């Protein structure tokens, strides 16, 4: 199996869980629109489906999606779910993920039920990058961690393998296997 292919966590018998952290696609900056209400721009609407195609191409189908309630994250989520098709779960909007810091985002993740084997979280800078730096273990793919740490553009996507419970995820206890920026 190629290194960038991860078996579906739904059929995984190893006990590991998968965490996918996605930064929203490129947004627009319309005059007079509050930050929370900013939509995706043209580039964001063209590129956002690529994240869903990337996941489906690697058989990574989330059991649960947590999404910031900001317009640009919701629109990104809609594009991703469209590409995941009938395997896409109904996303949960969580207002705590908007303007969160890494600790707040992690606290939201810690509430995830153990029956969830693959969790996707869609959010914003800087917490998506800060959280990745906080939880990446020493067993992580070094190239992926360095790439994520140096530059985290819109539609940046991290994939982690986690042993243990969601509630105990805290720091340096998730193995980053991928960092990518899916583009058409």
Instruction: Assign 3-class secondary structure to the chain.
Output: CCCCCCCCHHHCCCCCEEEEEEECCCECCCCCCCHHHCCECHHHHHHHHHHHHHHHHCCCCCCEEEEECCHHHHHHHHHHHHHHHHHCCCCEEEHHHCCCCHHHHHHHHHCCCCCCCEEEEEECCCHHHHHHHHHECCCCCHHHHHHHHHCCCCCCEEEEEECCCHHHCCCCCEEEEEEECCCC
pLDDT at 89 over 70: yes
- Per-residue model confidence (pLDDT) at position 1: 35
Count the residues in the chain. 184
pLDDT at 153 over 90: yes
Question: What is the token pair recorded at 17?
Answer: 């869980």
Q: Which residue has the higher pLDDT, 171 or 18?
A: 18
Closest listed residue to residue 174, CA positions, set 122, 126, 102: 102
* Pair 38, 30: CB distance under 8 Å: yes
* Pair 93, 74: CB distance under 8 Å: yes
- Regarding beta strands 64-68 and 118-123, do their DSSP bridges make them parallel or antiparallel, or are they unpaired? parallel
Residue indicated by tokens 């490129």: 26
pLDDT at 12 over 70: no
pLDDT at 146 over 50: yes
- As a whole number, mean pLDDT of residues 20-27 equals 98
Q: Which residue has the higher pLDDT, 5 or 39?
A: 39
- Per-residue model confidence (pLDDT) at position 3: 42
Positive or negative CA dihedral for 51, 54, 56, 60?
Answer: negative
- Rounded Cα–Cα distance for residues 78 and 4 (Å): 24
- Rounded Cα–Cα distance for residues 159 and 181 (Å): 12
* Averaged pLDDT of the chain: 93
- As a whole number, mean pLDDT of residues 32-59 equals 98
């Amino acid at each position: 199996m190629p290194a960038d292919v991860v078996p579906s966590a739904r059929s995984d018998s190893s006990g590991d869980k998968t965490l996918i952290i996605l930064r929203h696609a490129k947004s627009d900056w319309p005059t007079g629109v509050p930050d929370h209400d900013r939509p995706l721009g043209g580039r964001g609407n063209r590129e956002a489906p690529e994240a869903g195609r990337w996941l489906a191409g690697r058989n990574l189908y989330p059991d649960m999606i947590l999404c910031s309630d900001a317009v640009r994250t919701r629109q990104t989520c809609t594009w991703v779910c469209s590409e995941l098709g009938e395997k896409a779960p109904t996303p949960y909007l969580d207002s705590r993920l908007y303007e969160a810091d890494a600790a707040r985002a992690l606290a939201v993740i810690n509430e995830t039920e153990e029956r969830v084997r693959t969790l996707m979280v869609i959010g914003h800078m800087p917490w998506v990058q800060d959280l990745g730096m906080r939880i990446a273990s020493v067993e992580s793919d070094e190239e992926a961690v360095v790439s994520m740490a140096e530059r985290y553009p819109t539609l940046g996507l991290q994939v982690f393998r986690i042993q243990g419970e969601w509630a105990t995820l805290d720091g340096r206890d998730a193995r980053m296997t991928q960092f990518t920026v899916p583009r058409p």
